[in-house]
Amino acid sequence: MQFVRVNGITLHHQIIGGPAHRPVIVFINSLGTDYRIWRDVLVRLAGDYPLVAYDKRGHGLSDVGAAPYSIDDHVDDLIGLLEHLNVTQAVLCGLSVGGLIAQGLYARRPDLVRALVLCDTAPKIGSPEMWDARIAAVKANGIEHIADMVMERWFTPHFRRSDNLDYPGYRNMMIRQPADGYIGTCAAIRDADLTEEAARIAVPTLCVVGDQDGATPPDVVLAMARLIPDARYEVISGAGHIPCVEQPEMLSAMITAFLTPLVSGEKQHG
């Protein structure tokens, strides 16, 4: 396992090597998950691109630190990780709050970003009242109290069927995240509004959404795509909020199709 200390936080991450002439794709996970949600995408892209996945603070094997957080805290952590790994001109692939982190990083350090893949996200997600209610519920009764409600937003009814052994596994992933990290990131999402920053994005951007996403529905992601100059918009059939779990083959194909024109003119080495 790989760990690095940045901003007083130990971050857990994974590096999968790839062609040195290709940009590094960096995967940023959603609220209540760790980087294992990307596994079935990583295995499909491995060998074609260098890959980095990590657990943001308060999630997975990374430190919780001092909560609540801001999106800037998460952005600072990712900047520190990229600088530690000497990664520049990365393709940031962020899901949900991971997409907010990607947008925030581009706004602060566009020199680190070659392109953006924004999955099931928006410049502003939900309302302060919704997030305050979520925080209060977790403080009062723990993450498991809200898990079934969240699962309905994350996954389609087909994925949540009783004979799908993957479903309880991903539910376990959520309820086993640190409550302070979950609450802290809820506050970061609540307080984030990157609408003005999104309108200034000037790198190739792919906006992707599951057709049954209950957290950031297609109309929300389409509005973001229309806000970002020249963004590409794609809908994944048969997926909820986490298409990298439900439809990894389709998401991987979309990422590959999006990136191929960007790298097709680059000279290969070796």
* Rounded Cα distance, 175 and 257, in Å: 35
Evaluate if residue 264 carries a pLDDT over 90: no
pLDDT in tens, 18-55: 999 999 999 999 999 999 999 999 999 999 999 999 99
pLDDT in tens, 171-223: 999 999 999 999 999 999 999 999 999 999 999 999 999 999 999 999 999 99
* Rounded Cα distance, 164 and 146, in Å: 21
CB of 90 closer than 8 Å to CB of 114: yes
- Predicted confidence at residue 270, as pLDDT, reads 30
DSSP-derived pairing of the beta strands 9-16 and 51-54: antiparallel
- The helix (run of H) or strand (run of E) holding residue 151 is helix 144-154
Type of residue at 179: A
- Domain boundaries, given as residue ranges, for the chain: 2-263
pLDDT in tens, 102-123: 999 999 999 999 999 999 999 9
Correct CATH for 2-263 of 2.70.150.10, 3.40.50.1370, 3.60.20.10, 3.40.50.1820 = 3.40.50.1820
Evaluate if residue 67 carries a pLDDT over 70: yes
Report residue 92 as tokens: 């940031």
Per-residue pLDDT averaged across 138-154, rounded?
Answer: 98
149 contact partners, CB below 8 Å, separation of at least 6: none
Phi-psi region of 120 (alpha: psi -120 to 50; beta: other; left: phi over 0): left
| pTM of the predicted model as reported, rounded to 2 decimal places | 0.96
- Which residues in 157-192 are b (16+ Cβ under 10 Å) and which e? eebbeeeeeebeebbebbbebbbbbbbbbbbbbbeb
* Rounded Cα distance, 156 and 213, in Å: 8
Give the pLDDT band of residue 1 (cuts 50, 70, 90): confident
Adjacent-strand bridge partners of 14: 53
* Rounded Cα distance, 117 and 119, in Å: 6
Report residue 85 as tokens: 């790994």
CB of 222 closer than 8 Å to CB of 210: no
DSSP-derived pairing of the beta strands 2-6 and 232-236: unpaired
Per-residue pLDDT averaged across 129-156, rounded?
Answer: 98
**Number of C-beta neighbours around residue 46 at 10 A:** 13
Type of residue at 7: N
Residue 223, Cα to own-chain centre: how many angstroms?
18
CB of 182 closer than 8 Å to CB of 34: no
